[in-house]
Every structure is written in structure tokens, then in C-alpha cells.
Amino acid sequence: GAGVSQSPSNKVTEKGKDVELRCDPISGHTALYWYRQSLGQGLEFLIYFQGNSAPDKSGLPSDRFSAERTGGSVSTLTIQRTQQEDSAVYLCASSLDKGAHNEQFFGPGTRLTVL
Amino acid sequence: GENVEQHPSTLSVQEGDSAVIKCTYSDSASNYFPWYKQELGKRPQLIIDIRSNVGEKKDQRIAVTLNKTAKHFSLHITETQPEDSAVYFCAALATYKYIFGTGTRLKVLA
């Protein structure tokens, strides 16, 4: 079956522009995560969605970052007024449910470059 | 806040030798510890995991050990091969939130 997909795979934008990144989780997966991976760094938690519950936004680095998940499936991460330090790979992951019995599957990521 | 420390940041071994990567976590509520392998330009892939009710798990050449008292867990790769070269990440899960280590770049020299 299809895995987690993300689009676009690469995005180059100018400083100050807004960008939208999309994540299609595996069908039926209720848990969805966004992470940021800067060059040579680990995965930084950004936001978590679980079903219809309020998301955990505690990892969003500033109010320029927001995310939504429509209909419990597709998610978009929006970065407003992009800055050069936003350049990174943005990874989405989904799992069937939360907790230790549910493997987390990653998408291929979106590489964002802010000029 | 929650934190996972991972060492070493880089590791070079000769083909056939063993490699060990160590992680320490801070959140005592963590109960699940996965390890991911990320090849260059690819997505992270789960290679092995361990739950808090066991101390060791093995899958062919890969093993993971967990010491809950010390809040340490380690990845052991035996008989390393060139295709093991990648970045390896540990993570700790409490409830639903994964905290990742900063990664270890493993190079297996032929």
C-alpha cells in the first residue's frame, strides 16, 4: 500500500514569502507528526495531531508556523514570512494510533530553502 | 524539558567490526525506544525498537539494550557491512511525543 507522501519534495522561496507544505498520511492512521530536520541535526518535534483532539503545538518555533489537519487525514504546515533559518527538511510521520504499539512511518520530506 | 543525548556523533569502523551507539533520556515516563536508520537523502526507517518491560532485543546483526534505572539504551551492530553506513537516530516516547537524539553518522570502511 501507499506510504506517507509529502509535497513538494523541494521548495525554494524568497525570504518573506509564505510557504505551504503538504502531508498525506497512510490511510487510517490517526496520529500525524511534523518534524524539522536541519542539516546534520536530529529531528525536532513541531506538532502532533491525534484524531479529532486538539493538536499539541508545543514544538512550533514561532507564531509564523501553523498547521492544520482537515478531515483527520491530509495535513498542511504553513510558514509565513519565511526566514533563512527556516531552511531545513520538513518531515511528516504517521502512525495507526498513539503509543508504543504503533510504528511511526515517515514521509520523504520537503526540503525547504529560503534565499 | 525532555531530552535525549546520543553519542558518538560520528563513528568509523572497519568492515566486520562491531559498532555501538549510546543514548540517554531524561523523561522517566518514556516507555518505548525506537532506532531509525537514515541513508543520505532518504527518510528515516525503523530498524529495531524496545519497550520498557524488556532489557534486550535482538534481530540478526542488530541488538538493543535498555537500562531503565540509568535511563540508558544502546544500539549494537555486529559484523558491520558497508551498507550499514548511514545516520542512526535513537528516540524515546512518552505517551505520544517522540524525542530524538541528534544522530550518529556511522561509516563502515571496506
What is the per-residue pLDDT across A54-74, written as a single tens digit (0 to 9) for each?
A: 899 999 999 999 999 988 799
CA distances to A51, A104, B9, B82, B103 from B13, rounded to whole Å, are: 44, 29, 13, 10, 16
pLDDT digits (tens, 9 = 90+) for B49-66: 999 888 999 999 999 999
Average pLDDT over chain A reads 92
Alpha-carbon distance of B49 to B70, in angstroms, equals 18
**Residue B34 to residue A104, Cβ atoms within 8 A:** yes
Cβ contacts of residue B85 below 8 Å, gap of 6+? B106, B107, B108
**Scanning every residue of chain B, which has its alpha carbon at the shortest distance from the alpha carbon of A36?**
B100
Alpha-carbon distance of A95 to A31, in angstroms, equals 5
Query: Is the preceding omega at residue B44 within 30 degrees of 0, hence cis?
Result: no
Strand partners, A23: A6, A75
Confidence of residue A100 (pLDDT cuts 50, 70, 90): low
**Residue A43 to residue B46, Cβ atoms within 8 A:** no
* Residue A95, burial from CB neighbour count under 10 angstroms (0-12, 13-18, 19+): buried
Q: What own/partner pairs with CB < 8 Å and gap ≥ 24 does B49-53 have?
A: B49/A103, B51/A100, B52/A100
Instruction: Assess B93–A contact: CB distance below 8 Å, yes or no.
Output: yes
Strand partners, A37: A43, A89
Confidence of residue A40 (pLDDT cuts 50, 70, 90): confident
Q: Does the structure show a pLDDT above 60 at A1?
A: no
